[in-house]
Amino acid sequence: MPTMKFSLIIASVLVYTVSAASTEYGLEARAPTNEECGETKQPLFRLYKRSENDHFYTNSQRTFDRYVYDMGWTDEGIAGYLLKSHTDLTTPFFRLYHAKKTDHLYTTSEKERDTAISSSGYVSEGEVGEIYVKQSCGAVPLYRLFNEKTWDHFYTTDPEERDGASGYKSEGIAGYILPRFGKDGKKKKKKS
């Protein structure tokens, strides 16, 4: 019994020490509030046009309809969900376009946006929505890839799609978006 009491005392001291240290250094473990997570999400539609080797992402149903029904783009579904308005956990997701290379570039970096405009021939198409800067509120990574041969930026939440995208090299994580399906962004398999 003395060993058990000693173990319990040590465990209690450790829990208290870790708890006190995390509070002292601002590391409290708490779930983000609804206000921080944002309450109004919007779909991020994913489109592709083979003849231009270009992936295009939009939050606008009207733009989606125009690109698919009037301009011949292929609907590749909803990539995930962005927020409509800014929170403490989000940042703007900028869209840029390079007409000569027919490439859409998406970034959270104002510096990258400005450099792409001033030095690389891109033009700003504004903001697509608000994207999480870190993994919180159930958001999953939005992977950014680039194919130098076809000059196409491609974004996906699916690690398997990322790893199997022939000719594309990873450029890291663009940000975090709410998943289309489950917490991992993958469709749930039906039980047979």
What DSSP line would sit under 156-180, residue for residue?
ES-HHHHHH-TT-EEEEEEEEEB-S
Mean pLDDT, all residues of the chain: 85
Give the pLDDT band of residue 1 (cuts 50, 70, 90).
low
Distance CA 94, CA 111 (A): 11
Among 1-10, 17-26, 176-185, name the most confident range.
176-185
Is the pLDDT score of 27 beyond 70? no
Confidence category of residue 10, pLDDT binned at 50, 70, 90: very low
Q: Read off the amino acid at residue 110.
A: E
- pLDDT score of 33: 78
- Within the chain, residue ranges assigned H as helices are 2-24, 34-37, 61-65, 110-119, 159-164
Q: What is the pLDDT of residue 28?
A: 53
Mean pLDDT value across residues 9-19 = 45
Query: Over the stretch 65-107, which tens digit does the pLDDT of each residue have?
Result: 999 999 999 999 999 999 999 999 999 999 999 999 999 999 9
The whole-number pLDDT of residue 149 equals 95
145: exposed, middle or buried (C-beta count within 10 Å: 0-12, 13-18, 19+)? buried
